[in-house]
Amino acid sequence: MKTKKFWKWRNQAEAGTAPEERTLFLNGTIAEESWFDDDITPQLFKEELNSGTGDITVWINSPGGDCVAAAQIYNMLSNYKGKVTVKIDGIAASAASVIAMAGDTVLVSPVSMLMIHNPATIAWGDHVEMQKAIDMLSEVKESIINAYVLKTGLSRPKLSHLMDAETWMDANKAVELGFADEIMARAKEEPEKEPEEGKGDTDGEEEEKKFPPAPSSMLFSRRAVTNALLNKMAARYGGEKPKADIQAQAKIPAADTETGRCVDALMERLNLLKR
């Protein structure tokens, strides 16, 4: 039976020869099938990891996956004797963000994203089984926070709040919060253009006025966006009285609705009543 592999090595050691640096690519879902009770896949990954020596670079582009697999890969990379450099070139979300924390140095692409949130599962049974699932998820969350604390130095309550809100970070915010160390630079930098003679720096000042600098970092919280929307809806519609039922309104004749009787007929009837 062929094992499904979500990782790929480049410059892997062959026939006892070890290159100076190897590269590991983690793409797609981390373990489509859980590593829990799996003795083959984790062992295969460990054997390939330890088959060579020297520093390794781990490229991550993954939406996440199995927490058990992520925890084992995190431990294997943390215990690796060589230097581990993690590079996030697309997305490191959920369980993939845990693996990223194993790097001695974590680099992020300027256009990459990192996301952390609470672990999730599917449970079935009575209230006792549901409580067991809740307790299990709480412990899994605490174990994930352990990895984040070691890398970022943030407090546990702060990290717990970020996970509760399902927080998305761009490269600048990831570095600012300590989830990454640096932003990857372009391979080739364009030379700076010298200002034209006589213009000095006035053009630059005018450009800054026209186009103000963009925010240094971005942090997206699903909960914050939802709460902001609910607050706006409450402010707009909270004090408005409910509209009357359309059918009920239809039964109430308008003040200027014609009754079908002329004025002369009504006057004649009034005169009869006076007699």
Residue 117 CA to residue 114 CA, distance in Å, equals 10
> Could you give the dihedral angle defined by the CA atoms of residues 225, 226, 228 and 229, in that order, rounded to the nearest 10 degrees?
120
Gyration radius from the chain CA atoms: 33
Q: What are the residues facing 14 on neighbouring strands?
A: 17
pTM equals: 0.69
The domain ranges of the chain are: 7-186+217-222
Residue 38 CA to residue 72 CA, distance in Å, equals 12
pLDDT at residue 53, rounded to an integer? 84
Dump pLDDT digits (tens) for 190-245: 555 655 555 555 555 555 555 455 556 667 677 777 777 777 777 777 655 444 44
CATH superfamily ID and name for 7-186+217-222: 2-enoyl-CoA Hydratase; Chain A, domain 1 (3.90.226.10)
Residue 241 CA to residue 147 CA, distance in Å, equals 51
Q: What is the DSSP letter of 30?
A: B
Confidence of residue 1 (pLDDT cuts 50, 70, 90): very low
Please tell me which of 39-53, 77-91, 207-221 the model is most confident about, judged by mean pLDDT: 77-91
Terminal C-alpha separation, the chain: 110
pLDDT at residue 155, rounded to an integer? 97
Dump pLDDT digits (tens) for 101-148: 999 999 999 999 999 999 999 999 999 999 999 999 999 999 999 999
Helices (H), the chain: 41-49, 67-78, 95-100, 127-152, 156-164, 171-177, 202-210, 222-237, 246-251, 263-274
Residue 78 CA to residue 30 CA, distance in Å, equals 17
Residue 18 CA to residue 23 CA, distance in Å, equals 12
Q: What is the DSSP letter of 118?
A: -
For residue 201, what are the CA distances in angstroms to 13, 61, 194, 205, 213? 55, 41, 10, 7, 17
Contacts of 47 (CB under 8 A, 6+ apart): none
- Taking alpha carbons only, the member of 111, 93, 101 closest to residue 152 is 101
Length reported for the chain = 275
